[in-house]
Amino acid sequence: MKHNKTYNAKELKTPHGTLIIEGPISSEALASYEFHKDLVAFRSPEQQHKALIDIADLPEGRIIIARNNLTIVGYVTYLYPDPLERWSEGKMEDLIELGAIEVIPEFRGYAVGKNLLTVSMMDNAMEDYIIITTEYYWHWDLKGTGLNVWEYRKVMEKMMNAGGLTWYATDDPEISSHPANCLMARIGSRIKSDSVQRFDRLRFMNRFMY
């Protein structure tokens, strides 16, 4: 499958300055920007910066960033699911995962996440993919936001809806382990019905085990 990537960008004005939301961006561009020290949700900022550069070099990898001047203050990643996850078991070339989304505390509350997703979907090539995201409450910054699990889940759902992702049922054990966890997906307009069926089989693998 050919992975086309068309760059898009928009400006977002906030009380803390104007942000450029742009991508998919190249590994070279990513390496040239500073990575904000508060981007710590998944690993140290240095390690995460390097991880994003590596993802940008993957054929299917896409990084959309929010930057304030030359400093990255938010990002979203898209790539094939982790080989250890059930979502990779179908070996579907047209299924990619929204793997991580993060915005520094200073710029939260100004629709940065929504705009990262909006810019992501401005690329027509996204119509060739089933895009999934798996939301686990233990990844959420409940302490930093002061929200409870259900309030945070509502915020996450609203943000994902901005990119056209909606809730899908699944029997995945990790997702089923807590009612706030969820699978969300967006099925591109050019996805064939056999791919949708394969995705359905991945969502409900346990019913085929008997």
Q: SS3 for 143-181, per residue?
A: HHHCCCHHHHHHHHHHHHHHCCCEEECCCCHHHHCCCCC
Average pLDDT of every residue of the chain: 95
The percent of residues above 70 in pLDDT, for the chain, comes to: 98
pLDDT score recorded for residue 141: 83
pLDDT score recorded for residue 207: 67
Does 129 reside within a domain? yes
CATH number at residue 189: 3.40.630.30
Across the range 74-84, mean pLDDT stands at: 96
Across the range 82-98, mean pLDDT stands at: 95
Does 3 reside within a domain? no
Does 47 reside within a domain? yes
The tokens of 145 are what?
């936001």
Does 2 reside within a domain? no
Does 210 reside within a domain? no
SS3 state at 68:
strand
pLDDT score recorded for residue 208: 53
87 within 8 A of 184, measured Cβ to Cβ: no
Residue for token pair 């250890």: 84
Does 197 reside within a domain? yes
Q: 116 pLDDT exceeds 70?
A: yes
Q: 210 pLDDT exceeds 50?
A: no
Q: Could you list the residue range(s) of the whole structural domain that residue 123 is in?
A: 8-204
Q: Tens digits of per-residue pLDDT, 43-75?
A: 999 999 999 999 999 999 999 999 999 999 999
- State pTM to two decimals: 0.94
Does 65 reside within a domain? yes
Q: 93 pLDDT exceeds 90?
A: yes
Across the range 6-11, mean pLDDT stands at: 98
Q: 78 pLDDT exceeds 80?
A: yes
Instruction: Give CA–CA dist 155/22, Å, rounded.
Output: 22
Number of domains in the chain: 1
